[in-house]
Amino acid sequence: MSIDLSQINKLLIVKISSIGDLVHASPVVPALKRSFPHLSIGWVVEDRHLQVVQGAPGIDEFIVVPHKQWRSGGLKWEAWRQVFRTGRELRDKGYELALDLQGLGKSAIWAWFSGARFRLGGHRVRREARLILYRIPVRTQGLHVVDQYLDAVRWLGAEPEPVEFPLFIPEEARQQAHQKLARLEIAPGTPFVSMNPSAGQERKRWAIDKFAELSDRIERDHHLPVVFVGGPGDLPLEARLKQLKQAPLRSLIGQTSLKEVMEVVRATCLHICGDTGTAHMAAAFQTPCVSLFGPTDPDRNGPYGQRERVLYKRPQCQSCGRKCRTYECLQWITVDEVLSSSAAWLQ
């Protein structure tokens, strides 16, 4: 298949979730716009993660998928009716090319709904999506997922360099974030460390008692305030931190929008977290990030451009082989090792 993007006017990107995946895919937009400025670019995204890419320069419109209704509705008629309604709206927009960067059945269906003449899979295309998508040949072995996505636009004739993350934070969100930091006695311009103790899956979470000890030692020995961030679902972690910490807890867990979290991560002198979306926000804003990885390969999925600051012990595991089974290697990472990796930003 050969496609000339100079003859395409409307291109649809399909990447519906999650936070880190949306950040990873975002450099595709400036790469396409630099080489083909005439393109009108749309993006299909779930409503729960819209704020990650909302306002990004180069994206002309968003097609928002109602995650909660679809997820909770299952096979109920109302959920399907909403899907078909959104699908009709999408088809009416007249996209000529759909680029699915997720490669799942749940994403490929939106490429199909678009009615685009060309429906391309720009990443690993799962079996259920192969009837809908033409798979673009991209490199995968030992290549970061950001570079895999950029391989897809290179195949389409776009120049992927330099790699730009077009994340946008509106002024209102910036102000709100700093007002909330001020309530924790952190004035604008004051150096502070941010931490995210959560991750999408339990097996990717470093022990909460280690986060408590780490934050206490940074505050005591380096005299830097530590602010914890996270979503509403992480409030049980906040409760444990209150129990475990020796010093008072500074927390914004469950108190911020995604845009406000982005500003906190952008403004911090150092972000410490596990395998979670804020690691990729930090990389996008070039905020130093020390991240703690367990079963996931950081060469492929770590914070882009910050591989040297990832702590990762799975290669030392003798029991799991190729497939991680016990997930214990993440807990082998010590507080002292995190402090050592963080030392340059704790001065």
All domains of the chain in start order, with CATH: 5-155 (3.40.50.2000), 171-345 (3.40.50.2000)
Low pLDDT (below 50) residues in the chain: none
Task: Output the pTM of the full model.
Answer: 0.93
Beta strand pairing call for 270-273 and 97-100: unpaired
Q: What are phi and psi of 63, to 5 degrees?
A: -110, 110
> Tokens 């103790």, residue?
197
Distances (CA, A) of 53 to 25, 32, 38, 171, 279: 10, 16, 20, 15, 16
Provide CB contacts within 8 A for 250, sequence distance 6+.
Answer: 184, 185, 186, 225, 226, 227, 228
Distance CA 100, CA 301 (A): 18
Q: What is the predicted pLDDT for the residue at 66?
A: 84
209 by Cβ neighbours in 10 Å (0-12 / 13-18 / 19+) ranks as middle
Distances (CA, A) of 181 to 66, 110, 177, 249, 286: 31, 39, 6, 13, 20
Q: What is the identity of the amino acid at 45?
A: V
H-helix or E-strand containing 146? Answer: helix 145-155
Looking at every residue in the chain, the average pLDDT score rounds to 92
Beta strand pairing call for 134-135 and 226-228: unpaired
Beta strand pairing call for 193-196 and 270-273: parallel
Q: What is the DSSP letter of 310?
A: E
Comparing CA positions, the residue from 41, 47, 35, 43 lying closest to residue 6 is 35
Q: What is the predicted pLDDT for the residue at 78?
A: 73
- 278 contacts 292 by C-beta, under 8 angstroms: no
Q: What is the predicted pLDDT for the residue at 68?
A: 65
> Tokens 């519906």, residue?
16
Distance CA 205, CA 276 (A): 9
Provide CB contacts within 8 A for 18, sequence distance 6+.
Answer: 49, 200, 277
- 5 contacts 92 by C-beta, under 8 angstroms: no
- 184 contacts 227 by C-beta, under 8 angstroms: yes
Distance CA 103, CA 126 (A): 6
H-helix or E-strand containing 43? Answer: strand 40-46
Distance CA 193, CA 342 (A): 10
Comparing CA positions, the residue from 202, 197, 157, 116 lying closest to residue 32 is 157
